[in-house]
Structure formats: structure tokens, C-alpha cells
Structure 1
Amino acid sequence: MDRLLAALEDDPSAADFAISAFQSALLSYRHDSILRPFPPQYMQGEERDISSVKSVASRLPSVVDLKKQLRNGTADPDTIDLVSWLLFDCRPSCRLRTAHLSAFKDIQKKTGRSSYAIQPSYVVELLWSESSSLGGEGAGSQFSRLSQTHGTFYAYHGSRVENFHSILRYGLISHLNKNSLFGVGTYLSTDLSVCMPYSPIGQSWTQSELGRLMSCVAICEVVNHPQLKSGRIQARKSEGGEMVDDKVPDKYYIVGNNEFLRVKYVLVFADKDSKKSIKSSNRLFRMMSRHKVGTMIILYMLLLAVIGFLQSTFYMRLSRQLFPS
């Protein structure tokens, strides 16, 4: 409990983003395939107890409220268990940290400016452990050796919000990419505006302090390897077996080897107005819950006022003018 409280106090925005990504994957109709990793405490043999996870997730308080509950000892044990797994055990080889927005300016210097002005709401940095051995995570010794040999550059990758729970754990896996117009691989671009259409605004978490609606773009560090496909002529076999030339568009890169890249940052574009509206509605709901008798009296008085208005001569005269028989 102390470790969880310390993590929430140290970087509440990073914790909020981790929970939001999980909630988005959980609520997606594709949760069977994208909710990976899945909390092991809700596995029954080979079966996922998805209903229990949804039940606990629906009761998760905001990060601010959870910190208060942890301090006064009223936090729900299931909440502690799930959030602790998300922050500590879900990504053993990676830690999330909120970066200053100035980090985006540094990245733009490396990638070049977008075709149109765009500014993220938050920048989340992924701190990978060098001991990681998963190629999909791209943070292990193999990536380090390749980057030292060939050098690296930065590029963007757009994806739906619900995919980022898996991306934060496994990185970008080339064979899972659905876009194969110019060959199999992970599609990147040095122009952020190219990736934005692939990152539509989606539902995140109703209790998020970042915003109830958001879109995300991954920023990847990419090994500048000769096998990397970029904006030049590429040869492939057509369905008929003939060799054809594909022109990869300018500023596009296609990474077929997972060891050639790692996710370094995530740009979060949050709808802050939705956060304010949900907070206002939550405050109103809590106030009505605390004052049930007063709420019932007010609603009863409103009902009497409506009935009185409908029976008034003014309303009858007005209705005859608007709807003459």
C-alpha cells in the first residue's frame, strides 16, 4: 500500500495514463484480442474472468480520490490489487514517467516539424530496462548494439487508444500491423500530421484527470538499418507471382524487424473539456446523493410547478393559438 501511494504521489499523470489505457482496452469490443497483458489474478485456468475485471474497474476512483483513500485506510482491496498490478507488475521491463512538454520540442528538432501546428496535452516517457530481452519491447541489449552500429532517428506511429495498453507492455509488433499496402511491418512517419488520422479520439476512463476522451501517438526510436524500408522503390511479388515496384511515400518508414525500434514516448491529446464536464456531473451526483430528502422535495416542487403551468389559462390560451382546432 505504501509503495502504491508513493507511486501515485510521485507521478499521478503517468499512473492515470496507465489506468486509462487499460480501461480503454477493457471497454473495447475487441478486448479479447487487445487486453494483453491480462491481470493474472482474474484468470481461472485458461479462462478470463472478464466480468469480474469490469466490475472492479468500474469502481476505480480517480487518482486523487485513491490517494486520499490510501492515506486514511479506506481503499478497496480489489482496487489496490488491480492498480498495483497495472503500475508495477504489468510492465516489469518498463516504467512510465510524465515528461515536460518541452520534450516534444526536442523531438520535433529530430523529426522535423509537422505539416500543421499541433500540440499534445501530455508527453509520457517510457523508461525501458536494458536487461529486457523481448524483441517487441525493443529495449534490450540487441537494440543497444544495433543503435550503436547504425545510429537511430525518431518517428511517429498512430494507433487507437485501446491499443496502447498492449503497446506499453510489448511495444510495436510488426506482424500485428493491419496496414500492408507497401509490405508487412510497422508503419512510421517523421511527419506527425501523417499519423494523426490513425489515432482517432477514443474513450479512455471516466475518472481520468487527464481527460475522458483522448488520442495517442507513439514516438519511436528507430535503428537506421539498411534493411529499413523508406521512401524509395521497393520490390515485391504480386499475387500473380510477378515482381512489381512499390514506391514507399516520402517521410514513411516500414520496420519489419521488431528489434529495430522501441517506443520512447507517447503523445497524449486529451479532451480537457470532457474532464471538466464529468467532474461537474460527478459533483452534482454526489451532492444529490448526500441530500436525498432535499432533492426529492425540489423535484416534487418542480413537478407541481409543471402541472400548475399546464393547467393555467395562459397555457390553454397559448396552446389554442399554436394549435388551432
Structure 2
Amino acid sequence: MEIENSNKEESNIDHISNVLNDNIYGCDLLLCLFITALQSYRVDTCLRPFPSAYVHDTHKNVDALRNLCDTIPSLATILKYPQMCSLEILELLRWLLCQKEQTTLRKVNVPISIKKSYQPHYTYEVIYPFKIEEAWQKRKNSRNSFLTYHGSQLDNFYSILKVGLQHNLSGEKALLFGKGIYVTNEITISMSYAPFGLSWKNSILGNKISIIAVCEVIDDIEKVKCKDEKFKRRAINRGSIASDIPDKYFVVTDSDMIRLKYLFVYKKVQLP
């Protein structure tokens, strides 16, 4: 058994070290999103997918997972001293960071023009596996697409990254402008929906951050509702109680018409 565990540990260390050497900032943010979802009072809905090693007879052992995550050192420390981690930590990190064909995050320069006062501290591009990227390009076909902003609570972003923005989970907003995903072409509007939240205590990004998603939207006249004259379409969405979708808002009624393109990460700056 000791030999088997030793082999597992060596294998885990090799895989984790490789991915951290290649993309430590992307791994750090992914771990931040995972832990934030895990600590949420809405953990059942926020932490999707949930690691199967902590599910027993349909019961999710949230407490055990939280206790384990409290002991994870910084990724820089793990990269330097991987042997200090328990086998349980290594297996969790391998599950989270090293799966093949999963969506990943990579730190990049800000890719679009944005006012200096709204510049994020960190920008991440969302990198999709080949099959998902191919399906999106086929869906888009010859249609145009455009970029919009979406703000949400920090604990929502793990599931958003893993399963995408879902038009059927719009909650109370569905009563106002109809069911769908709410995005805008004005970043200041999104900021009001993206409060700072506690993240991972050992993150290189800081332990209190806010995220604005930059989303690519396929310009589908039936499934993307807005008032903007440039798009020349109806500004009323079925099922809404408001008479009109307001300026600078878009309601995407089909999840297949939208995907994450970038994440803007803002860290809470402590005043002296």
C-alpha cells in the first residue's frame, strides 16, 4: 500500500508541477473560483461539478472538502516544495487542474479598449477544448458576434466557467425583462452586479476580488433581444413585466448564443 501511495504521489506531483510551471496564474484563479464556490452557502448550486471523491451515496461531504482546502499552501510553495502536500491535496489539485479536455484560463494583456479607471488588475482569456471551440465556430457559422459584459457574484463563476451561462437560471430578473442571460455593452452597469467577495486566502491575486465576464454573443435576431438601434430588433422579451429592455442591455434567451471570452479580475485595494 505504501508503494502504491508513493507512486500515486509521484504521478500527481509530476502532473501538477507541469501545469503550474506552464500556467500558475490560470491555476490560481481556477482554484480561487473553486474555493469561493465551496465556501458559499449555495454550495449545492455553485460547486458544479463537485469532486466525486467527496460524494458518498449521493451525500456531498462539504465539511471534509472545506477542511482539506484550508490546508492547501500557495501554488508557488507547492511548485517549490510539492512533497509538503498530503496525497489528498495532490489528488484534489490533479482533479481540478490537470484534467484533459477541460476549459482553462490563461493570463493575458487587456484585449479591448477600456477606460483607464476600469482597467482590471488581471485579465484572463478563457481557452476551450478543441471540440467545444469547434462546436461554437460551427454554431456561429457566418453570423457576426460582439462582446458584452456580465457581472455576477464571485461564488457563481466556478459553475459559469464549467457549465456556461444558462438562460434558464436568470432568477428574479426573469420577471423584469424576460427569461434570459443579462449582458450589457457598458462595463459600469456590470460592475454594480459584481461585488467583491472573499476568495482563497493564499491566492497570488489577493483574497478579496471581483470579476466581470467579457462575453462573446452571436448576433441572432431571434435569440438576442435589445433596444440598441444598431441591431434593429424588438426590445421586448416574452414573459417580461417591463415594457421595454433598457438601453445598453441585451437579453440572450438561448445559452448556445453566448460564451465567456475573457475574465476581468479586480482586487480589493486596502487604503493606507
Find out whether 1:163 has 2:148 as its counterpart.
no
Find out whether 1:99 has 2:96 as its counterpart.
no
The match for 2:235 is 233
Per-residue CA deviation, residues 116-172 of structure 1 (Å, 9 max, x unaligned), is: 83110111111112313xxxxxx451x312322211100011001111111110110
The match for 2:188 is 193
After superposition, the CA RMSD in angstroms is 2.1
C-alpha displacement at 1:245, in angstroms? 7.1
The match for 1:30 is 42
Per-residue CA deviation, residues 251-276 of structure 1 (Å, 9 max, x unaligned), is: 111111111011111111012549xx
C-alpha displacement at 1:93, in angstroms? 3.4
C-alpha displacement at 1:192, in angstroms? 0.6
- Aligned mates of 2:96, 2:270 — CA distance in 1: 26
> Tell me, what secondary structure is at the counterpart of 1:198?
coil
Which of the pair is proportionally richer in helix? 1
Match of 2:210 among 200, 212, 215: 215
C-alpha displacement at 1:13, in angstroms? 1.2
> Tell me, what secondary structure is at the counterpart of 1:97?
strand
- Aligned mates of 2:122, 2:63 — CA distance in 1: 31
Letter in 1 for 2:103: C
- Aligned mates of 2:77, 2:127 — CA distance in 1: 27
The match for 2:10 is none
Q: Retained in 2: the 8 A contact 1:211–1:273? A: no
Q: Retained in 2: the 8 A contact 1:5–1:67? A: yes
Per-residue CA deviation, residues 247-301 of structure 1 (Å, 9 max, x unaligned), is: 1111111111111011111111012549xx9xxxxxxxxxxxxxxxxxxxxxxxx
- Aligned mates of 2:218, 2:127 — CA distance in 1: 17
- Aligned mates of 1:6, 1:268 — CA distance in 2: 25
Q: Retained in 2: the 8 A contact 1:236–1:246? A: no
Structure 1, unaligned runs of 5 or more: 133-138, 239-243, 278-325
> Tell me, what secondary structure is at the counterpart of 2:117?
coil
C-alpha displacement at 1:246, in angstroms? 2.5
Find out whether 1:11 has 2:23 as its counterpart.
yes
Match of 2:51 among 39, 50, 57: 39
Match of 1:79 among 89, 94, 111: 89
Structure 2, unaligned runs of 5 or more: 1-12, 228-233
- Aligned mates of 1:250, 1:47 — CA distance in 2: 45
Q: Retained in 2: the 8 A contact 1:14–1:97? A: yes
Write the mapping of 1:271-290 to structure 2, written as runs, cut at 5 A.
271=268, 273=270
Q: TM-score, normalised by structure 2?
A: 0.86
C-alpha displacement at 1:26, in angstroms? 0.9
> Tell me, what secondary structure is at the counterpart of 2:213?
strand
Structure exhibiting the larger radius of gyration computed from Cα positions: 1
Find out whether 1:253 has 2:272 as its counterpart.
no
- Cα separation, partners in 2 of 1:56 and 1:245, compared to 1, 3 Å: closer
> Tell me, what secondary structure is at the counterpart of 1:194?
helix
C-alpha displacement at 1:212, in angstroms? 0.6
> Tell me, what secondary structure is at the counterpart of 1:200?
coil
Q: TM-score, normalised by structure 1?
A: 0.72
C-alpha displacement at 1:235, in angstroms? 5.6
